[in-house]
């Protein structure tokens, strides 16, 4: 039987480094173990929450229920024409999968190097960076459906992917756990260098190779984003809001320098810019604050509570609303 741990500290299981406890905690290496954990959860009528890398969750209090953490981390491949289908278990460190793709010269996810977290979470919020989103390469997702007591395979088309969004955040939320994700990567060179300074950065390193792209992404990330091992954070705390054309034109007329990006029939506005413009960049109150190099990132300087970070986020949301009449939403799950 899988071990059920009581009063588990979650401090090292969330990248904010918030010091909370969970009343129960269990890890699974395979489906049988996961089934056992769910049996226990149901017998004891417990709330449950899947937590892998903990890079997208803000705990504001102790968790009453059972935290379920994946330990499975196999990577297997299958080849079909110029594609390699790489299936990685949910508990694979995201960067281990990207490293695997770089080592084997498999194109597709190199721009996503350096994102904290595990593979199992990558489809949930459709992780994205430097012009690429996970959905661009996801082929399928194996999801353990609690009610069916079995695995359902969703093809990418079934996942309703959107900007930091998917079916796993909506219809399938609380219905089960992602077990593995299959990425379809290409042996054909396919560099995507349209984002900001990425092209220059790669060219400065010499040839356009998958490794040079990944290294350039890391350099850009390091120049803006804090390392959660050094400064507690959870990447972008907020999503970039989507405006309709009229709203975007109005904003551009007032602030010609505002960064805007086309997004289907909407326009995405850089929330980091709005937050900086409103004067929050580098702000600190006690041990929580706004990162001084990227205003979209909230940080824990040491002993901040989750409640303090949540309060700061609410103040920022309200201020942006007052100053720009724009509603920004959190990207992070607040528990
Ligand atoms: N900007 C500012 N001030 C700031 C931050 C940004 O003026 O404090 C401006 C930048 O100068 C730039 C624009 O806003 O003109 C966009 O900034 P950046 O390139 O840093 O990207 P972002 O929109 O702030 C998004 C993702 C990041 C991802 C980067 C790169 C979201 C919520 N965030 O940030 O993802 O790494 O693009 O692709 O979409 C994450 O999701 O956790 C994350 C870090």
- Average pLDDT over the chain reads 96
Decide which of 197 and 84 is more confident: 84
Return d(Cα 81, Cα 254) in angstroms, integer: 52
Distance in Å, CA 67 to ligand 1 centroid: 31
164 is catalytic: yes
Ligand 1 pocket check: which of 196, 272, 274, 289 to mutate, most ligand atoms within 8 Å of Cβ? 272
Which atom of ligand 1 is closest in space to residue 234's alpha carbon? 42
Which atom of ligand 1 is closest in space to residue 275's alpha carbon? 8
Percentage of residues of the chain with pLDDT beyond 90? 98
Ligand 1 pocket, Cβ-based, cut-off 6 angstroms? 129-130, 195-196, 224-225, 235-236, 239-240, 259, 270, 272-273, 276, 281, 294-296, 331
Distance in Å, CA 81 to ligand 1 centroid: 36
Q: What is the pLDDT of residue 62?
A: 98
pLDDT at 323 over 80: yes
pLDDT at 197 over 90: no
Nearest residue by C-alpha to atom 5 in ligand 1? 272
pLDDT at 1 over 80: no
Convert the pLDDT of each residue in 58-108 to its tens digit. Answer: 999 999 999 999 999 999 999 998 899 999 999 999 999 999 999 999 999
Q: What is the pLDDT of residue 52?
A: 95
- What is the arrangement of strands in the sheet containing 232-236, beginning at the earlier edge strand? 232-236, 297-300, 288-290, 284-285
Task: Show the tokens assigned to 55.
Answer: 């890079």
List Cβ neighbours of 315 (8 Å cut-off, separation of 6 or more): none
In the set 27, 33, 110, 331, the catalytic residue is 331
Report residue 226's pLDDT band, with 50, 70 and 90 as the boundaries: very high
List, in sequence order, every residue forming a beta bridge with 49; answer none if it has no partner.
67
Q: What is the pLDDT of residue 113?
A: 98
Q: Quick one: angle between helices 94-103 and 210-224, nearest 10?
A: 150
Report residue 2's pLDDT band, with 50, 70 and 90 as the boundaries: confident
166 is catalytic: no
Q: What is the pLDDT of residue 292?
A: 97
Return d(Cα 186, Cα 86) in angstroms, integer: 10
State the DSSP code for 135. G
Average pLDDT on 8-23 reads: 97
Convert the pLDDT of each residue in 235-246 to its tens digit. Answer: 999 999 999 999
Helix boundaries (H) for the chain: 31-43, 94-103, 198-205, 210-224, 245-254, 271-277, 306-324
In the set 164, 216, 221, 234, the catalytic residue is 164
Average pLDDT on 204-223 reads: 95
Sign of CA dihedral 188, 209, 75, 108: negative
Average pLDDT on 46-59 reads: 97
Lowest model confidence (mean pLDDT) among 1-10, 121-130, 276-285, 308-317: 1-10
Q: What is the pLDDT of residue 196?
A: 82
Convert the pLDDT of each residue in 98-148 to its tens digit. Answer: 999 999 999 999 999 999 999 999 999 999 999 999 999 999 999 999 999
Convert the pLDDT of each residue in 182-193 to its tens digit. Answer: 999 999 999 999
Distance in Å, CA 320 to ligand 1 centroid: 16
In the set 73, 236, 304, 305, the catalytic residue is 236
Beta strand 288-290 with 297-300 is antiparallel
236 is catalytic: yes
Q: How far is CA 225 from CA 28, 43, 206, 280, 298, in A?
A: 31, 43, 24, 16, 10
């Amino acid at each position: 039987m899988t071990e059920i741990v009581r009063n588990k500290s979650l401090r090292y299981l969330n990248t904010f480094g918030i010091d909370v406890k969970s009343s129960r905690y269990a890890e699974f290496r395979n489906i049988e173990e996961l089934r056992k954990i769910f049996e226990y959860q149901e017998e004891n009528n417990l709330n449950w929450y899947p937590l892998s890398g903990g890079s997208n969750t803000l705990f504001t209090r102790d968790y009453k229920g059972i935290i379920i953490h994946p330990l499975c981390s196999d990577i297997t491949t299958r080849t079909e024409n110029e594609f390699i289908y790489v299936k990685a278990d949910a508990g694979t460190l995201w960067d281990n999968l990207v490293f695997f793709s770089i080592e084997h010269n498999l194109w597709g996810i190199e721009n996503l190097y350096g994102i904290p977290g595990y593979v199992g979470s990558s489809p949930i919020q459709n992780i994205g960076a430097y012009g690429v989103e996970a959905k661009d390469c996801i082929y399928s997702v194996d999801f353990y459906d609690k009610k069916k007591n079995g695995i359902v395979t969703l093809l990418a088309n079934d996942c309703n992917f959107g900007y930091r969004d998917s079916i796993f955040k909506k219809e399938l939320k609380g219905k089960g756990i992602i077990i593995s994700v299959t990425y379809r990567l290409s042996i054909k060179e396919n560099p995507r260098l349209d984002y900001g300074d990425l092209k220059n950065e790669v060219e400065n390193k010499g040839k356009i190779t998958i490794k040079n792209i990944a290294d350039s992404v890391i350099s850009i990330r390091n120049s803006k984003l804090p390392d959660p091992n050094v400064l507690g954070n959870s990447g972008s705390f907020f999503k970039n809001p989507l405006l309709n054309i009229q709203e975007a034109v109005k904003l551009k007329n007032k602030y010609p320098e505002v960064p805007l990006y086309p997004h289907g029939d909407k326009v995405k506005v850089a929330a980091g810019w709005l937050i900086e413009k409103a004067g929050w960049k580098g702000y600190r109150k006690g041990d929580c604050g706004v990162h001084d190099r990227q205003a979209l990132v909230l940080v824990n300087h040491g002993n901040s509570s989750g409640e303090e970070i949540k309060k700061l986020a609410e103040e920022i949301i309200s201020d942006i609303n007052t100053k720009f009449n724009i509603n920004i939403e959190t990207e992070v799950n607040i528990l």
